[in-house]
Structure 1
Amino acid sequence: MVAGGSDTQPKLEHKGYNRGLILGLTMAESMLLLVFCLLLVAAALISAERNKRYEVERKLEKAEQQVAVLEKKRAEQAAELVLLQSKVVSGDLSAADKATVDKQWRELVLAKETLDSMAEQGATPDDLQSLAKVAAVLKEHGVTPASAPDEVNRLLAGHGSGNGMHDWPPIINLDDAKKNYFQSGSAELTGTFAQLLDGTITDEIASNLSLYGANIVEVIGHTDEQPVSREKSNLDDTLISAISGKLPVSALQPADNAGLGLARAIAVANVLKANPKLKDAMILPMSAAQLILPGDTITSGQRGAVESRRRIEIRVRGRTAPVAVINAGATSSTNTQ
């Protein structure tokens, strides 16, 4: 019995010792580890607060320095004012000081007269701020305040009530019935049309860009309503390379009138882009397909080869609104498009 009692006692003590373990640590060791972790967190928080305090102190020191500089300037200006007042009272002014005082006095008087005159006409200081913004916009677009009324009248005459005339450049018409501008059924330019584009047409465009302050040239391809015989188009794969000059225009194979009009617009745009006279202009090729008749009306259906409908239209405009139009006829008289 005695031996049996002595055998069970250590086992009971061992079980009690196991109940005190946490992750292999005793309760005391676990508490020490927890306290250590809390100290680390507290140290990090204290360090962050210390850094914030240093930053605030640095900003405060900088602000104090700026205040000291401003205070010094204020004191200097106050001393100058006192000195000037004493000179004015005593009449002890040099010729330069008298000239300065007279000039500043005249400016003050003129400014007051101007403000009084504006007030009589119903103007307020807020109106002056608005006018300053308007003047900045006019300057940005190269319009002087003196010429602004004429510019406004010109714009109103062209776009206001509809009774005035648009001040646009003359329209250039090149009739396809008289000259062959494109190879039949393709977007390739004939030599005659390429020379014309690189000569008189470019000169006219450059003149209008300069005269109207425009910077965008839209090249729009128009076709008649003859169906295109090609079954498959490759424009999705070739358009970007063609307009960037990596592929010749002959590589473009449209399968409908919309694609043919765009391909021909790209051919014309590439000639215009290569001319140094238009180096500052953004040239955009577009297609109107067979939808728009000469005279800017929508077709109701007109089958067959119609030479007057096969044309290139060049529009010169600014970034926000068109300001000029040039129509150039295009494509071959024997072309089926």
Structure 2
Amino acid sequence: MAVTSEPSSHLEHKGYNRGLILGLTMAESMLLLVFCLLLVAAAIINNERTRALNDQKSLQQQVAAAQQELAVVKLEREDLRQKLQIAEEKLKQAQEQLQALTLASVDREKFEKEWRDLQLAKQELQKWKDSGVTVEKVEEFQKTLVVLRENQLPEDAAALSARLKELKAAETSLAASKPHEWPPIINLSEADGNYFRSGSAELEAAFEAKLRGTVSDQIADALQKYQVDVIEVVGHTDEQPVSRRGSNLDQTVMDVLDGKKSIAGVVPADNAGLGLARAVSVANALKSEGKLRGATILPLSAAQLILPGDVVTTGQAGAEETRRRIEIRIRRRNQEQQVAE
């Protein structure tokens, strides 16, 4: 077997190269290892830094929470201190009241007697309240007693009733001994310009203005002067026949009197109905005046039966303005009804 021999210089150079390559390889490996170690160290340091920051943040939160709890505790302590102060003041007041209530035996007996009297008065007052007696009624009774004493009238109910009957009888006797003065009768005829619309119960404008003006003033003065409270409005017609076959007076007159319907819708079929419708029309005009509000206004119809001067007709046919009129009579309410009321 043949062995090829190489020069020694070539072999040395080749070995040098191999050693150099091996050295460089080992150096690179060491550098890589160092780099990896640096990366690991950096990661560890970063992790520790993050953990430290988190711990610091958590610690700050805990400190803030502790400070808040401390503030709450301070507020609660201040509140408790104030409540304690209030309780001490109340205790002091209670002690003072207790000392004030610690009376001598004589004062205590007097106090107990006054307390019993107060309880009895309270029970008596409750009985009066249960029976319907109020403070206002007691005041009214006191005023009534003052008036009775001023007029020298008895305070006893039975004696007072008897005395009032005596005074009433004396007043009646005195009135009978004097000539009676009757309220005047107000006559409003067509002859004096007080017109309704032809064949109707509607007031002409001038007549309505007169009713609301001078006539209502005259009635109000008479009510005050004669101390009366009933106004009778009587409608009179002439004997001229009413040329209608049907009437709705029964169906409409109450609504007109109550102000729910207009008088223009009333259709009378005879003179009696026409007189009543015209009386209702005048009564409604008078009722709207505030000065007559306290009086009772009664619409009535005399139809064609009564002549001027309170004379019953004997049958005088034809149109006549003096007979077509409204008479207003003023009187006092029925005395028997007042006594019953």
**TM-score w.r.t. structure 2 length?**
0.49
Larger Rg: 2
Higher helix share: 2
User: TM-score w.r.t. structure 1 length?
Assistant: 0.49
